[in-house]
Amino acid sequence: FFTFIIKNWMFYVVSFLGIVAVLFTISRITNNDSITILPTTNVVLTVPAFFFTIIIMLLPFIYIGMLLHRERNSNMNQLVDATAVTNWQLLFAKLFAIIKMQIAMLFIMMIVGISIQAYNGYYLFELDQYLFRLFTMELISLVIWAFASICIHSFLKNTYLGIFALILLWLGVQGV
């Protein structure tokens, strides 16, 4: 399932858009006319990482719907149901693929952040802060949303309705 995600063109497009969003926001933050702000790790992980995390948040909404309904959309669901693999094993394999995709995107965010710091001449990389903020704080919320999207997409049989419901739920939680 992870190779299905990585080989999909949408993964590359969304990764590229996330990198462009990070580059754009960091250039707007650090290069003002009157003062120049150094791209410290905290600056890189605040605003630019916020936009990249939003993109990472939307990917499971789409990919879990694609993975859960993939067999039914290709009319292979009866063949998959006849295999010796249980449903929960398939479900957790899909969830694990989504979590691996989220970890890969967080690594991309960390590499882009370090590259931005090096490009701007700031060589004090705080890797412990990158690892803690991205792989502890952000990953926990991303995994929770991956579980939520599995639940929503399991109840709603329409992929697009599930994506819409998850976006509404996410906007509702963010508004609180």
Q: What is the 3-state secondary structure (H, E, C) of 100-153?
A: HHHHHHHHHHHHHHHHHHHHCCCCCCCHHHHHHHHHHHHHHHHHHHHHHHHHHH
Name the residue with tokens 């939307």. 58
User: Residue 34 — pLDDT band, cuts 50, 70, 90?
Assistant: low
User: Residue 165 — pLDDT band, cuts 50, 70, 90?
Assistant: very high
Phi, psi dihedrals of residue 141, rounded to the nearest 5°: -70, -35
Q: Which residue would you say has higher pLDDT here, 73 or 57? A: 57
**How confident is the prediction for the chain on average, in pLDDT?**
81
- State mean pLDDT over 170-174: 84
Q: With 80 as the cut, is the pLDDT of residue 38 above it?
A: no
- State mean pLDDT over 105-123: 84
What span, in angstroms and rounded, lies between the C-alpha atoms of 99 and 56?
11
Q: With 80 as the cut, is the pLDDT of residue 160 above it?
A: yes
Q: Which residues pair with 36 in a beta bridge?
A: 31
Residue 148 CB coordination number (10 Å): 17
- State mean pLDDT over 56-74: 79
Q: With 80 as the cut, is the pLDDT of residue 93 above it?
A: yes
pTM of the entire structure?
0.81
User: Residue 176 — pLDDT band, cuts 50, 70, 90?
Assistant: low
Residue 69 CB coordination number (10 Å): 17
- State mean pLDDT over 1-5: 78
Q: With 70 as the cut, is the pLDDT of residue 35 above it?
A: no
